Amino acid sequence: MREIAKEAGCSHTTIYIYFKDKEALLQELSMPPLLSLFEQIEAAIAREADPDARLKAISMALISFCLVNRNMFDLFLNVKAGRIDEHSPGMEINRLRNQMFGKLADNVRECLQLSPQDERILLSARVYYYALHGIISTYAHSEESAEQLLERLQVTFLHTFDVMLAGLREMMRKDPDR
């Protein structure tokens, strides 16, 4: 709150005139960009028929969003985050975060050809998301612009997605009952 107030040129207590609490400020700052990301994810799903291509498009949308918004991505995705498997989170931002994770999980499920009731979906989607988060975190403090990073590393990112899917598929093949 103090950093925001400093940037705004006011006292940190002034912010509370406009926002009830930190959660209200979080919602106000985060919802418009996250809704835009959600629309990008929906567009990628609608555009790509092949499950692997769709998952790659979703993954690139998330990485691009976070690199473009790297000074705020932690706020958008992690601050006050609830459980991803919670069905009805109280905060609107967590409902949206969970919907986005659900889209990712649905696409991981399709790529792995799992039934909708398979308990391995959540496990696999989490592992896949951890890899995405690792990519994002690696470049969060880079001096290169998002455009430069994406141009230089897109092939590496796409390869990472292939490796992750191959590893998850191999795990399913080795232990189909797990």
Q: What is the 3-state secondary structure (H, E, C) of the chain?
A: CHHHHHHHCCCHHHHHHHCCCHHHHHHHHHHHHHHHHHHHHHHHHHHCCCHHHHHHHHHHHHHHHHHHCCCCHHHHHCCCCCCCCCCCCCCHHHHHHHHHHHHHHHHHHHHHCCCCCCCHHHHHHHHHHHHHHHHHHHHCCCCCCHHHHHHHHHHHHHHHHHHHHHHHHHHHHHCCCC
pTM of the model: 0.85
What confidence tens digit (pLDDT) does each residue in 64-99 have? Answer: 999 999 988 887 787 778 888 888 888 788 888 999
Q: Is 153 contained in some domain?
A: yes
Q: What is the mean pLDDT of the chain?
A: 88
Q: Is 17 contained in some domain?
A: no
Q: What percent of the chain has pLDDT over 70?
A: 85
Q: Is 137 contained in some domain?
A: yes
Residue with tokens 């986005």: 100
Q: What is the pLDDT of residue 124?
A: 96
Q: Is 120 contained in some domain?
A: yes
The CATH code of the domain that includes 73 is 1.10.357.10
Q: What is the pLDDT of residue 121?
A: 96
What confidence tens digit (pLDDT) does each residue in 19-70 have? Answer: 566 666 666 677 788 899 999 999 999 999 999 999 999 999 999 999 999 9
**pLDDT average, residue stretch 3-14:** 68
**What residues make up the domain containing 154?**
30-174
Q: How many domains does the chain have?
A: 1
Q: Is 150 contained in some domain?
A: yes
Evaluate whether 150 touches 67 at the Cβ level (below 8 Å). yes
Q: Is 10 contained in some domain?
A: no
Q: Comparing 119 with 4, which gets the higher pLDDT?
A: 119
Q: Is 19 contained in some domain?
A: no
Q: At what angle do helices 51-68 and 92-112 cross, to 10 degrees?
A: 150
Q: Is the pLDDT of residue 142 over 90?
A: yes
